Structure 1
Amino acid sequence: MIKVGIIGATGYAGAELCRLIMGHPQAEIAAISSVSFEGMKLSQVYPSYYQICDLVCESQEEAVAKSDVIFAALPHGLSQGLAKVCDQAGKVFIDLGADFRLKDENTYAEWYNGVFDDEALHQKAVYGLPEFYREQIKGKTVIANPGCYTTAVPLALAPALKAGFIDTKGIIADCKSGVTGAGRKPSQTNHYPELNENFYAYKVASHRHTPEMEQTLSNLSGEDIKLTFVPHLLPVNRGILATCYARLTKEVTQVEMEEIYQHAYGNEKFVRLLPSGRVPNIRHVWYTNYCDVAVQVDNRTGTLVAISAIDNMVKGAAGQAIQNMNLCFGLDETAGLLLVPPAF
């Protein structure tokens, strides 16, 4: 059994990691850590885990010592030192934060006001979006786990982009997120009276996930891509719906575009290309690692509309991190992740 340590186990992503690892056939939680709740049981923080996971939150050092792989579910800026400790100790390190996602230090400084503490460690890190970088992830020891928007948007656009059917200029990503994406710490924006019966855009054209999406799409297309990204906050707990718009560069039928997507994703375990006429729905992917994708060719305006839906806590965070762990350790990629979404 792979010994798993979870740093930041009492945040939403950390707690979701605990839930999923407890159902993994080849891994078990060896230790959990939380600065805010050190010395407390996880089941005291999340009563639903009572008599299921009563582990006590330990120090980061204790968690690293007991584990083969460390998942770091921490705010940006807190993972680099921990990653170095794990690397020196020969542990696999999977970062759910943003510290290793961007390859350019200047871009990281611009969007996160940080620096690369160890350039060699950043060069060693692999971006963990398995549908695009599966072979690079296998056997690696430092993985930058993508965020939620940065998973949903590239998965929606990649096949058409790689096939050369959409213009690399003027791409728009119009996205909606459940409130768990804001983290567990309360704020004015996720206070119940502010969020309930409400729906609004935030961080318009200034969200930190923008350069990460542009980096992935640029790598896939071979061109420098800039996109317009507008996130919105939904009054629901979980889910990401990404509706992406791009100009078509040549005539293509609906059937032909669906064939392009089928060719790209037909063998993917966690990408479900929906039948013509159906569109993704966040409820249909709740609590799972699936990404549902649908495309619509609008020949009247020469536009491709590509839509994806994921659970931001699973495929957008903890589930994808476990998918990466499975690849790192040579396990079946689906191990612990074949979860059925609720029917209602």
Structure 2
Amino acid sequence: MSTPPTPDELAALVAVTTRLRANVESVVTGRPELVRTSLAVLLAEGHLLLEDVPGVGKTTLAKAIARSIDASVGRIQFTPDLLPSDLTGVNIFRAQTHEFEFRPGPVFAHVVIGDEINRASPKTQSALLECMQEAQATVDGRSYPLPRPFLVVATQNPVEMEGTYPLPEAQRDRFMARLTVGYPSVEAELDMLDAQETADPLARLRPVTDAAEVQRCVDVARRLYAAPAVKRYVVDLVTATREDPGLRLGASPRAAIQLLRASKSLAAMAGRDHVLPDDVQELAVAVLAHRLLPSTEARLSGRTTQDVVAAVVARTPLPVATTAAPARQTAG
């Protein structure tokens, strides 16, 4: 069993995430919960899918997260003619040495921004499957490890828009969370107009942490305590999606693992050393809904997978009693 994080380690994590949140929110105004959930995905070593109509700030959020961390960044503009080798890299023959040299693609970075991922063909989209699950890329039979931390932040337009391809189920399942940016409030949009009237706030953004510090925070968040009752609650939620008549495909075991990891990150950002059912409830829709396939009846009635997950959360009983983090041993 892993050692629980110390108060000093939790305090350091809170300090890092507070700086990151303030930095990103200086650009992405009026969406504090969106930023908080995005950073929870980062600390859980997950990947983030941002879906909404064009122009609401999906790419801005992705860039703000990348620029807030002093780490390598790869950007991929997905287009219909993009090839898998454009992502992972290629072997180039060097006539001088009569040997092949591997030239890595943009996925070999700590933060990979995939802009409009669903404008590429499913074949190209699938090039990310191994990268996102195993943190490695295989080219011509040889596997190359990717740096840690490794985060893919992808944006996509709604499937109904012209020139888009739906993401394969296996691809969606590898994204820890899907978030909708939405339109800002009137006040936030006025602030945005003032901030961008003379300059782009992204151009002024500077890193407030580095990759090594983020990786330490990832390791701390992973060691948080989750009581057996909380784990059972996660499994109950996932199982309920598999039995819901409104769905023809429920959540996978990977979804349960990622929901617990994201909940640990959210708890760590709050300065707690244990997970509460509230953390699980807050993230359930973002982590589960995009993995599910609605039944024909649900589609005809206008029910979305978000609606189904919200209903599952509402009817699944909360743990009767949860146990806080085990007491530390003291000399005596």
Q: TM-score, normalised by structure 2?
A: 0.26
Higher normalized strand content (fraction of residues):
1
Identify which of structures 1 and 2 has the higher relative contact order when contacts are C-alpha pairs closer than 8 Å and 6+ apart: 2
Higher normalized helix content (fraction of residues):
2
